[in-house]
Amino acid sequence: MIYLDYSANFPTSKEVLDYLVDIETHYHGNCVSLHKEGKRSMELYRKENQKLLDVFHLNETEYEAIYTSSASESNNLAIKGLFQSYEGFGKHILVSEFEHSSTNAVLGYLREGYNADVQFIKTDSDGKLDLNDLKKKIRNDTILICLSVVESEAGAIQDYKSVIEIAKDHPNCHVLLDATQAVGKIPLELEGADLVSFTPHKYGGLIGTGILLKKKNVVLTPLIHGGNSVSIYRSSTAPLGLICSSIKATELALSNLDFHLEKAKELQSYLVNELKKDDSILINSNLEFPYILNISVKGHKAREIVEKLSEKDICVSQKSACSITNTPSKTIMSIYHDKERALESFRISISYLTTKEELKEFIETLRGIIHGK
């Protein structure tokens, strides 16, 4: 099998699994229990939690981490929790046109049920946020800006640092960065962001884990209410093994980031050069993010291509994994304003595990499907 859908899910690394088993085998106490075993678990939690803040160069006096079940839960907690805490200052929310469904669905829920004033920020032909449009639309009653650092279908990298700077002039405005496709893949400077969501299963951690980094002075209304836990923002018995393995995955991904990034660039360059030799293939990505390549095949719906490749044991994705199937890609529609191109678009996502031989076989198989060979 040739797996080219790493942006949907990344195989869990052996080191992460081994660490999970080690923690679950040797730490039995609830972190908030008062007995010796509970205190031992809490000591490990605090030690590991500090490692997470350290790898992102965030000060523990300013930031904290909330451990969730997914990036989707992190986005829900960030958006719903902030809206409920700050709606007295305003209900205006700004969002890019290319956000994940977990962001868009929450905003729709708040708009319909709580009269949130949700407004989209324009993007340019490269899928980049129009910062001038942001400056025009941000208001004194704007309480939140939602932005994906890397767009998940075509891979546009946003100028998130400029967004943070623009928001600084509006004291009631907060910035949520969805860094799900960015963490472990490109260098990040998160200082200044109010909230950052991501999930380790995109870079070697376990499905069922998520993280929300938050400025300590930002108040959220919890989604889950209950008893005492390691965070006041999410009640439950802290899953120490999952938390520690998530931090281990993050450490590993960031420590090898430069090496993995260079390999991804080489692989993307080879892939693009080969695909461009076929006039029926259109490159939709702007190529600045080497892990994601979005293409369209003229005259072939994306679902047809994806299914035929799957029959040949090659896995690619029609849009992002959480998107609705059989609809045009919203991202490609927004960039090219071409419904057919959007319906014909699909995503190839690679990693440092991808080989040139795998890409060569993918290209040959794709050409065979296109030209009926």
292, 246: one domain? no
68, 104: one domain? yes
102, 234: one domain? yes
Q: How far apart are CA 314 and CA 339, in angstroms?
A: 26
Cα diameter, the chain: 69
Q: How many domains does the chain have?
A: 2
Q: In sequence order, what are the residues at sequence separation of 6 or more whose Cβ sits closer than 8 angstroms to the Cβ of residue 217? A: none
- Dump the DSSP string for 226-262: -S--S-TTS-S---HHHHHHHHHHHHHHHHTHHHHHH
Q: What is the DSSP letter of 176?
A: E
Handedness of CA 89, 92, 98, 100 (dihedral sign): positive
- Look up the CATH number of the domain holding residue 276: 3.90.1150.10
Q: How far apart are CA 81 and CA 76, in angstroms?
A: 8
228, 86: one domain? yes
Q: How far apart are CA 304 and CA 84, in angstroms?
A: 43
| Reported pTM | 0.95
Q: What is the DSSP letter of 129?
A: B
Residue 226 scores a pLDDT above 90: no
Q: How far apart are CA 183 and CA 171, in angstroms?
A: 27
120, 221: one domain? yes
238, 118: one domain? yes
Q: How far apart are CA 80 and CA 149, in angstroms?
A: 20
pLDDT tens figures, 80-131: 999 999 999 999 999 998 898 899 999 999 999 999 999 999 998 888 999 9
Interval 253-257 mean pLDDT: 97
74, 139: one domain? yes
What tokens does 150 get?
A: 């890397």
Q: In sequence order, what are the residues at sequence separation of 6 or more whose Cβ sits closer than 8 angstroms to the Cβ of residue 220? A: 77, 78, 81, 82, 85, 214, 233
Q: How far apart are CA 214 and CA 116, in angstroms?
A: 22
Q: How far apart are CA 354 and CA 365, in angstroms?
A: 16
Q: How far apart are CA 294 and CA 215, in angstroms?
A: 34
What is the rounded average pLDDT for all residues in the chain? 95
Positions marked active-site? 322
72, 178: one domain? yes
Contact of 77 with 195, CB cutoff 8 Å: no
pLDDT tens figures, 289-330: 999 999 999 999 999 999 999 999 999 999 655 555 567 888
Q: Which of 230, 255, 280 is the last residue of a domain?
A: 255
234, 261: one domain? no
Q: In terms of Cα–Cα distance, which of 129, 107, 124, 125 is closest to 116?
A: 107
Residue 228 scores a pLDDT above 90: no
In order of 93, 109, 114, 120, the CA distances from 324 in angstroms are 24, 18, 25, 20
291, 364: one domain? yes
Q: In sequence order, what are the residues at sequence separation of 6 or more whose Cβ sits closer than 8 angstroms to the Cβ of residue 175? A: 144, 145, 147, 160, 163, 164, 167, 192, 193, 194, 195
Q: How many CB atoms neighbour CB 1 within 10 A? A: 8
Handedness of CA 366, 296, 108, 164 (dihedral sign): positive
Q: Give the range of the structural domain holding residue 153, as residue numbers without chain letter.
A: 14-255
80, 165: one domain? yes
Contact of 200 with 67, CB cutoff 8 Å: no
pLDDT tens figures, 324-346: 556 788 899 988 999 999 999 99
- Look up the CATH number of the domain holding residue 155: 3.40.640.10
Q: Which of 54-63, 125-134, 179-188, 275-284 has the lowest mean pLDDT?
A: 125-134
In order of 296, 301, 318, 344, the CA distances from 339 in angstroms are 11, 11, 15, 9
Q: Which of 205, 228, 255 is the last residue of a domain?
A: 255
Q: Which of 225, 255, 285 is the last residue of a domain?
A: 255
355, 230: one domain? no
What tokens does 52 get?
A: 């997470």
Q: Half-sphere exposure of 232 toward its Cβ, with a 13 Å CA cutoff? A: 7
